[in-house]
Every structure is written in structure tokens, then in C-alpha cells.
Amino acid sequence: MRIILLLIIVVVGGAWFYPQYAEDTSNGCAAFEKKLSGLMQAESKKILPGQRGNDPRVNALFDAMKTVVASSNGLMAEAYIKDKFPQLAQLPPSIGCVAGYWKLTFDPDLTQYMKGKLGAKP
């Protein structure tokens, strides 16, 4: 029984602290933000291969995103989790951020994090 309990503690602890270690951040919400930002930039290179270097508006948007992620230290992710998942209001937002990090790791579909679908007609 002790072995099982110890194994559960190690797995939960690893799941909690790995995002911070992997993304080199101070908390789970900052790791979630950094992971999301990296995926958005990678997707933009696929979607806008030629426009990214030529369009100053697109470059300004991504520079602003980098600045926000670098300076917010997870506050944007906390606000997003509180807004998107009100059922987690009684729990610390860092739990939702770590869950979001793992969901994004195993299912990197960015459309699930947006209000509307990309390419949907009004």
C-alpha cells in the first residue's frame, strides 16, 4: 500500500513540477503561457510562411505577444483559466494552468482555446 501511495505522490509531483522545469518558468501558469505562445508561433509559420517576414503588422503582433508572455509571469493564463473554466473558481488557477499545459502537450489543437472556429462564416 505504501508503494502505491508513494508512486501516486511521485507521479502527481512530477506532473505538477515538470511544466515549470520544461519551459524554464517559475510557475505552471507561466509554463502554460509559454507553451501556448510557442505553439502559436509555430502554427503561424505554417499558415503565413511568406507574410510573416513581409508584413510589419504580423511581426508587431508576434513581438507584442512575446513581450506579454515574458512580462506577465502567468497572469494572462490565470485570467484565461478563470474565464474559460468558472467551475474551477474554488480551486487555485494554477491547477487549471497545469491541466491546460498537459492538454496542450497531448492535443496541440489551438482552435480549442479560441471563442470561435477559425474560418467559420458569420
Give 82-113 pLDDT, tens digit per residue.
Answer: 887 788 778 888 888 898 899 888 988 776 66
Residue 35 domain boundaries: 2-108
**Domain contains 104:** yes
Nearest to 104 by CA among 47, 25, 35, 42: 35
Cα distance between residue 40 and residue 42, in whole Å: 5
**Domain contains 120:** no
Burial of 39 from C-beta contacts in 10 A (0-12 / 13-18 / 19+): middle
**Domain contains 115:** no
**Domain contains 116:** no
Tell me which DSSP letter residue 5 carries. Answer: H
**Domain contains 16:** yes
pLDDT above 70 as % of the chain = 83
Q: Are 43 and 113 in contact (CB under 8 A)?
A: no
What is the pLDDT, as a whole number, of residue 63?
A: 78
Report the predicted TM-score, pTM, of the whole model to 2 decimal places. Answer: 0.75
**Domain contains 89:** yes
Tell me which DSSP letter residue 116 carries. Answer: S
Say how many domains are in the chain. 1
**Domain contains 30:** yes
**Domain contains 83:** yes
